[in-house]
Amino acid sequence: MEIIAALFVDNFALRQVEGPSTRIDITGAYFSQVVAGPLPATLSPHVVVLIFCPPGGAGQGALEVVFRDASHDDRPSIARNVSPFTVEPGKFTYRLVRGELEVSHYGRIDAECRINDGPVVRIPLTLLAPPATN
């Protein structure tokens, strides 16, 4: 199985069209976010991960998403989510993961996504200070 795409998103929806075929409507894909309010703060970003199982594949796996603080050399984990899934071989599935992140400084965090012990797909998210008010 493989990760086809992974993004931070505001909204995600599926809809059926002629065929039958499915469309994925993704809105508000982003790579940075203003942290509202004083630090420390709690953020709840959503990550959508699209997964493909090739024909003849196992059809079962576990998606792991680890949120890491990229501003430190040792890249400590901020949060972790593991979600088992089943997908028919030759088809696609998705997982929507909501992080519950306690942050104490501005900078970058990464969502590291992988299936079972497969390769990591990294999604960066830069946390920004609110604009100064006069």
Task: Delimit the domains of the chain by residue range.
Answer: 2-128
**What is the rounded distance in angstroms from the CA atom of residue 57 to the CA atom of residue 36?**
44
- 20-64 tens-digit pLDDT: 888 999 999 999 999 988 899 999 999 999 999 999 999 999 999
**CATH topology (fold) of 2-128:** Immunoglobulin-like (2.60.40)
Prediction pTM value:
0.91
Reported in sequence order, the residue ranges of 10-76 that DSSP labels E, i.e. its strands, are: 11-17, 21-27, 32-34, 41-43, 46-52, 60-69
**What is the rounded distance in angstroms from the CA atom of residue 62 to the CA atom of residue 87?**
11
